Amino acid sequence: MSKFPKLQIGLVGCGSFGESHLAAFKGIPYVQVTAVTDVVESRARNLATKYGIDQVTRDYRELCSLPQLDAVSVVTTEDQHLGPVLEALRHGKHVFVEKPIATSIEDGERMLEASRKAGRILMPGHLLRFEARYALVKEQLTSGRLGQIVSIFARRNRPKKQGKIYKRTPLVLETAIHDIDTMLWYTGKKVKSVNAFEVALEPGGMADLLWAVLQFEGGAVGVLQTMWLLPDKTEALDDAMQVVTTSGIANVDILHSGLTLWHEEGHEMPDVSYEPRICGSVYGALREELSYFALCALEGRAPVLVTAEDGVNALRVGLAVVESARTGGTVMM
Ligand SMILES: NC(=O)c1ccc[n+]([C@@H]2O[C@H](COP(=O)([O-])OP(=O)(O)OC[C@H]3O[C@@H](n4cnc5c(N)ncnc54)[C@H](O)[C@@H]3O)[C@@H](O)[C@H]2O)c1
């Protein structure tokens, strides 16, 4: 038995990123995941066995009512965050919720209100705030070594096979929401207007590619590029950001990670940024992010690195992008 206090966590949503959470939590010494649930029970059972978790509950209501839990991690599909978030807060648990915080402003605001009322943490999964390169740029901006932001360009491209799964949610809310949050974080300004352009290869289908131009109060311009069009064999994260300021430029390059592996079957450029696996443990931004959440929950202090309001602000801009792409017009915010 450990002599250190451990945060008892329950996990709702045992899909692909739910498993990433479990693998990351396993490496955090002051966390213990003791219950999991999923609407597909076999997924919850499989992960409970794999990660040595005691309890599989029938549904999120039962999980959220477990008295031993201090916190709940919500990793359900994008439009299924509201129910578990509200239920966990109602039972006085701290909550981590994956991005996008919600798929409608109304849901996001209901979550904000519930977390204020419960006096519990509600922290959204804006991972880039915990990625070393993106965080170092923020530090340069805050210290004044980089001047006023003139423009930010962000790229976040994924293979077609991922599009087949994630086209259930508008592209911008699935991928570029990370960059929108980062742009809001870096500039500290509101977005004034949005112009977005989408291409769907299937007539009437969900977008395969998106470009968006955001104009910030104070004049800075943000440009987003994101797509589900990388060839399926692309085993790399095609992510980058360029921040142009009045006294310098910051270039973040996730694609050229500094590690290339050549094998007889081909080559790969593994993730060393977001959730690299080393000896079965998750390192990188995901571990930093979940460690920070768990520490805030254990110590009962509000997270300042990212807040629920940040999650709703990013969602508001994301939905304006959806609206502009749909109507072909400028959305004023
Ligand atoms: N931060 C990141 O970089 C990152 C990366 C991938 C996914 N995500 C986010 O994580 C979330 C989950 O994504 P995923 O890739 O794991 O999707 P997924 O489809 O693999 O898993 C979602 C799981 O939630 C379960 N589920 C849905 N509704 C439920 C409910 N009411 N109760 C219990 N279980 C329910 C589904 O059965 C499924 O197993 C999404 O919000 C996604 O955008 C974030």
321 and 177 in a common domain: yes
89 and 22 in a common domain: yes
**Counting beta carbons within 10 angstroms of the beta carbon of residue 117, is it exposed (0 to 12), middle (13 to 18) or buried (19 or more)?**
exposed
Give DSSP secondary structure letters for 289-315: HHHHHHHHHHHT---SSS-HHHHHHHH
137 and 95 in a common domain: no
* Ligand 1 pocket mutation pick from 58, 75, 77 by most atoms within 8 angstroms of CB: 77
Tally of helices (H runs) and strands (E runs) in the chain: 11, 17
Which residue among 91, 124, 157 closes a domain? 124
Tens digits of per-residue pLDDT, 79-98? 999 999 999 999 999 999 99
Tens digits of per-residue pLDDT, 217-273? 999 999 999 999 999 988 889 999 999 999 999 999 999 989 999 999 888 899 999
306-311 mean pLDDT: 98
pLDDT in the model for residue 225: 98
Task: Tally the domains of the chain.
Answer: 2
Mean model confidence pLDDT for the chain: 96
For ligand 1, whether the C-beta of 140 sits within 6 Å is no
CATH number of 239's domain: 3.30.360.10
Tens digits of per-residue pLDDT, 149-180? 999 999 999 999 999 999 999 999 999 999 99
Residue 292 lies in a domain: no
pLDDT in the model for residue 164: 96
Alpha carbon distance 42, 14 (integer Å)? 9
Residue 279 lies in a domain: no
Alpha carbon distance 191, 261 (integer Å)? 41
Q: How confident is the model at residue 147 (pLDDT cuts 50, 70, 90)?
A: very high
Phi, psi of 37 (to 5 degrees): -155, 155
- Domain holding 248, by residue range, is 129-274+314-332
Q: How confident is the model at residue 2 (pLDDT cuts 50, 70, 90)?
A: low
Q: Residue 55 forms beta bridges with which residues?
A: 35
184 and 76 in a common domain: no
The DSSP letter of residue 127 is G
Which residue among 87, 102, 124 closes a domain? 124
Alpha carbon distance 256, 121 (integer Å)? 36
14 and 105 in a common domain: yes
For ligand 1, whether the C-beta of 55 sits within 6 Å is no
Closest CA to 23 of 317, 278, 313: 278
pLDDT in the model for residue 68: 97
Strands 261-263 and 248-253: unpaired
Q: How confident is the model at residue 1 (pLDDT cuts 50, 70, 90)?
A: low
